[in-house]
Amino acid sequence: MYKTILVSIDLTEDNISRLVIPHVETLARLEDAHIHFLAVLPKLSSFYGMESLPVGHYSSEKDRLQHAEAGLQQMAARFNLPDDRTHCTIAIGSPRDCILLLAEEIGADLIIVASHRPDITTYLFGSTASSVARHASTAVLVVR
Ligand code: ADP
């Protein structure tokens, strides 16, 4: 049933990502699933004109990607999962589109997202979580 699971991680949100750990570990064990972690970075062009975002933070695009890759691997290491079944992918673009695209590419039978940032109580679902749940062609687990 759940042999290939996509776990979508927002690298800017440490606490929210922790919430998904027990869910992922439990589901992964059921059928020795392959777990694909995905973190999506914004296109650099979306930073233009937004002073609060780290425009000059990285020396190059390669540096930004390497930093994200290392961050995602650190996050993945917090999950108790077999190394040979754990995969990390960094994508650039809209989180919703990248999540749905990777799910298709790997033939995911489940997508796991967190519902929203814990400090944002106004919305039941964040925009990425709700949009993935609405548009995915596979099952979606929204973790609260
Ligand atoms: P909020 O707006 O409160 O941050 P989101 O819907 O954006 O809520 O985030 C909920 C979940 O969607 C995250 O925990 C994560 O699973 C997924 N998600 C959001 N942004 C990204 C991203 N940039 N890369 C990967 N996953 C993401």
Specify the pLDDT at position 51: 46
| Average pLDDT, integer, range 76-101 | 97
The protein residue whose alpha carbon is closest to atom 2 in ligand 1 is 126
> What ipTM was predicted for this assembly?
0.96
For ligand 1, what atom is nearest to the CA of residue 42? Answer: 23
Say yes or no: CB of residue 96 within 6 Å of ligand 1. no
Specify the pLDDT at position 50: 55
Burial of 129 (0-12, 13-18, 19+ CB in 10 A): buried
| Average pLDDT, integer, range 120-127 | 71
pLDDT in tens, 31-73: 999 999 999 999 876 555 554 455 457 888 889 999 999 999 9
Probe target for ligand 1 pocket from 5, 8, 20, with the most ligand atoms within 8 Å of CB: 8
Specify the pLDDT at position 77: 95
**Residue-range domain boundaries for the chain:** 4-142
**What's the whole-number average pLDDT of the chain?**
89
pLDDT in tens, 97-119: 999 999 999 999 999 999 877 66
- CA of residue 137 relative to chain centroid, distance: 17
| 17 or 30, higher pLDDT | 30
HSE on the CB side for 93, CA within 13 Å? Answer: 10
For ligand 1, what atom is nearest to the CA of residue 7? Answer: 16
Say yes or no: CB of residue 40 within 6 Å of ligand 1. yes
Find out if CATH 3.40.50.1860 is the number for domain 4-142: no
CB 71 within 8 A of CB 39: yes
Q: How far is the CA of 143 from the centre of ligand 1 (A)?
A: 11
